[in-house]
Amino acid sequence: MNNVSIQHIIEELNLEVIHIPSETQIKLYNSELIRPGLQLAGYFDMFAYDRIQVIGKTETNYIKTLTGDTKSYRINKIFSYPIPAVIVSSGMEIDPVMVYCAKKHNRVLLRTKDKTTKLISNLVNYLEELLAPEKTIHGVVVEVFGVGILIRGKSGIGKSETALELVKRGHRLVADDAVVVKRVDNNIYCSSEPITRHLLEIRGIGIIDITQLFGVGAVKIKQVLNLIVELEEWSDKKYYDRLGFDDEYESVFEMNINRVSIPVRPGRNIATIVEVAAMNLRQKSLGYSIEEEYNKRLAEFSSLDTSKEI
């Protein structure tokens, strides 16, 4: 399971440290946040204490209405849970009781000058990116006409050579060999490991730097995955779909990604076929159905053919 340290969050978002335990390294596993208004009101059933607690202006003003034992009891109870951190937004003054309870229970207490909505937006985006499920797979990722394509196939079948030809045609390389696949919200993102970024391995030549050869416009750091292209050796014993009416999908982190298989043999221009596959997918996403068009033409032809017989 992915995790991120509170210290990393502090440095990335430039948060002010009011109190932080020095002897432990606190890890965060949940990208969701909570504003503990109900807890300040005394309701602790189903308290999501495993999330970062955000104190905005509403919560701060409510704390000011609390007095004596009520304030101490409720704030103390919040900090008695193993919460990863409390962040006070808008640079607001922190109630002394909150500071006392943070030190008493050795919890992280932070502050930022950012408004509450901006803090939540930045924090959620940052945490979702870091905590998103990910895996590394073998393949090549390119962006073709705005479509993110993962090219797969056994070693030596021509994945990198196809990617090189596509880059020569003006498309962009995202990753070669080791592809980092990550799900963020409802998108699957592909990127490369830093050590292989912008590099492409071509058998017989070696490793080439796409940025140096073709310029920065020929590469991309990250790309949403839209299509999986499986390259396979042509087999006369296998039936290949010639109409393409039935869409194929592959599940990646429980999301269905369009998938096509392209048989490879001498004389076939794989780069051109990949380009057409990308354009075809874009056409479908705009509502065009070749199956409907084909059936329409077939019906018209049948009608004309019948009238001739009459």
Active site residue 19: no
**Residues 74, 172, 177, 182: which is the catalytic one?**
177
CB contact set of 185 (below 8 Å; sequence gap of 6+): 128
Residue 190 CB neighbour total at 10 angstroms: 25
The tokens of 224 are what?
Answer: 């949403």
Query: Whole-angstrom Cα distance, residue 4 to residue 241?
Result: 46
Active site residue 138: yes
**Residues 45, 185, 242, 308: which is the catalytic one?**
242
**Residues 107, 159, 183, 220: which is the catalytic one?**
159
Query: Whole-angstrom Cα distance, residue 151 to residue 89?
Result: 45
Q: Quick check: 90 and 116 in contact, CB under 8 A? A: yes
Query: Whole-angstrom Cα distance, residue 76 to residue 72?
Result: 6
Residue 93 CB neighbour total at 10 angstroms: 9
Q: Quick check: 177 and 307 in contact, CB under 8 A? A: no
**Residues 57, 64, 104, 138: which is the catalytic one?**
138
Active site residue 242: yes
Active site residues: 138, 159, 177, 242
